[in-house]
Chain A
Amino acid sequence: MAYSKKVLDHYENPRNVGTLDKNKPNVGTGLVGAPECGDVMRLQIEVDPETQRIIDAKFKTFGCGSAIASSSLATEMIIGKTIDEAMKLNNMDIVEELALPPVKIHCSVLAEDAVKAAINDYRIKNGLPPIITEEPIGQKVGT
């Protein structure tokens, strides 16, 4: 299967690969997926406590090219947003932007989950209740 130009671009020049200090109170970490499924994403956010804005995001992903591209794009999409705005990230935006084929939709779902898990980790760390979201769109597709 051929990859879209955008997947290739994110794969070849991934944005925001790296690690933030998970012990800092304003850093939230989301780890989703499992090695036996062939995808694990770790996405971290650094939040400005004053504005609740995501000032930095980093990821590391074990997975196929689409999984790497989805997480790379997700970090780009959330930097500069408030955590409430970022919580509204929809996997279908990633699917559209990267032109993912149906068998790769689960990669975008995983990226959405990773963002939400990171936000909830930040919330819990800061004494806020985690936000329970509905099952993301596309959850049932390709998983």
Chain B
Amino acid sequence: MNLPIYLDNSATTPVDPRVLDAMLPYFKEKFGNAASRSHPFGWIAEEAVDYAREQVARLINADAKEIIFTSGATESNNLALKGVFEMYRSKGNHIITVVTEHKCVLEAARHLERLGAEVSYLPVNHLGEIDLDQLEDAIKPTTILISVMYANNEIGVIHPIAEIGALAERHGVLLHTDATQAAGKVPIDVKKEHIHLLSMSAHKMYGPKGIGCLYVRRRGPRVKVTAQMDGGGHERGMRSGTLNVPGIVGFGKACELCQQEMPHESERLRRLRNKLESALLQIEEVTVNGSTENRLPHITNLSFKWVEGEGLMMAFNKDIAVSSGSACTSASLEPSYVLKSLGLGDELAHSSIRFSLGRFNTEEEIDYTIERVTDAVHRLREMSPLWEMYKEGIDLKTVEFRPH
């Protein structure tokens, strides 16, 4: 077993060696511009892009023509929200989204509010789930778009996209889903689930960074988004810019591998995740954040009460890479807004750690992690005045703290 162990696969994944092998020729001998129609360099690049487009489309049961390559999910989400708003502005200005969305969706929505959009931010319950009745009630005659992530990046909770899709269709509203965390991990079918727009990123699924796509439905209904960059009109006019051919080839290969390995891989990761989670839940005063029913197989988010997340991570982060919802790990000094929106008190958000497993993790690594994290929790609690008070039976609500 090699250290450090990487358990932060929701942040990014390593490139699968098979993906890298597929990409390499497109940096050197096959370096052509896919838009060069006049010579074999261009033809070869174009052929590679077409093939990758098929691979990406197949993963989500889309048509290759419906895949618009972008630089990644942040761009895809921006293009979806801003592009739909601009394109369908005459039909209405209302957008519905959820408080636990990724910042790029929330910030794009805020941007649109400044341009005259009305945005409803749906709350989630203590498990991170939305209420479909509440969603339906939020729809108005002016609603043009619902944007709900497929699965949450911090707690892994999967939203019922098929049901939301059916609901959106019934009301003639477009549905966009940010599938950054879910794509390649759980089966997605844009047709069955009535998805109109879907964002994906290669680097969360063992592909390279800097490449992603937006799926834009072509039939029933035909959806269009207004381009957010002016240029040569690539990608059916929705996203200009010379195509990142090696990135696209790698993205395609990554999608193909995920599709092939999903049944086996998701079961393996689920088993390892459950092993890790149940072992850590043996420690006193540890809780799972978010629903454990509808959840991605490779994520667990735990709060270790009475120890602070960053302080805890420091005990093992030279050897085990994870991330925390603690304020101290963010530039803003605010604890995770996702965890706070579950109604978790700030102190529990500060005590949270996300473990996200991936293709290259082994059982041995999980066993090692269980041991190191358990030791660290005990060690930090020995140093924690809150743990001491808790153990003495003092109700911390009665203690007068002095926030500074």
- A residues contacting B by CB (< 8 A) are 3, 11, 14, 17, 19, 31-42, 60-68, 103, 106, 109-110, 113, 139, 142-143
Contacts and interface: CB of A to CB of B under 8 A. Distances in A.
Given A32-B404, A36-B345, 9 more contacts: A17-B382, A32-B402, A35-B401, A37-B403, A38-B326, A38-B328, A38-B350, A60-B384, A106-B404
B85 interface: no
A101 to B, nearest CB: 11
B207 interface: no
B229 interface: no
A34 B388 CA distance: 15
B404 A35 contact: no
25 contacts: A11-B311, A11-B314, A11-B315, A19-B388, A31-B402, A33-B403, A36-B345, A36-B347, A38-B346, A38-B347, A38-B350, A39-B308, A60-B385, A60-B388, A61-B311, A61-B385, A62-B384, A62-B387, A63-B311, A64-B308, A65-B314, A68-B383, A113-B402, A142-B333, A143-B404
Given A17-B383, A35-B401, A62 B326 contact: no
Q: Is the interface of A mostly helix, strand, loop or mixed?
A: mixed
B310 interface: yes
Nearest to A36: B346
B306 interface: yes
A129 B346 CA distance: 35
Contacts of B335: 38
Contacts of A61: 311, 383-385
B248 interface: no
Given A36-B345, A60-B385, A67 B311 contact: yes
Q: Which 7 A-B pairs have the closest CB atoms?
A: A35-B347, A34-B401, A36-B346, A42-B385, A64-B310, A60-B385, A65-B314
A11 B379 CA distance: 11
Contacts of B345: 35-36
B404 A40 contact: no
Given A32-B404, A33-B404, A38 B388 contact: no
A40 B310 CA distance: 14
B333 A36 contact: no
Contact of B311 (A36, A64, A143): A64
A96 to B, nearest CB: 20
B306 A62 contact: yes
Contacts of B401: 31, 33-35, 40
B396 interface: yes
B67 interface: no
A68 B385 CA distance: 11
B323 to A, nearest CB: 13
A121 to B, nearest CB: 13
B386 interface: yes
A64 B346 CA distance: 15
Interface string B362-394: 000000000000000000001111111000000
A110 B347 CA distance: 17
A103 B326 CA distance: 14
A113 B399 CA distance: 17
Nearest to B318: A8
B403 A63 contact: no
Contacts of B404: 32-34, 37, 39, 106, 109-110, 113, 139, 143
Nearest to B350: A38
A10 B78 CA distance: 44
B307 A62 contact: yes
B383 A14 contact: yes
B386 A35 contact: yes
B327 interface: yes
A111 to B, nearest CB: 11
A37 B385 contact: no
Contacts of B333: 103, 142
Contacts of A39: 308, 404
A125 to B, nearest CB: 17
A61 B311 CA distance: 10
A31 B386 CA distance: 11
A99 to B, nearest CB: 16
A116 to B, nearest CB: 12
A138 to B, nearest CB: 11
Contacts of A41: 385
A114 to B, nearest CB: 10
B308 A33 contact: no
Contacts of A34: 401-404
A3 B333 CA distance: 17
Nearest to A143: B404
Nearest to B305: A35
Nearest to A71: B383
Nearest to A109: B404
Contacts of A143: 404
Contacts of B346: 35-38
A19 B383 CA distance: 10
Contacts of A19: 388
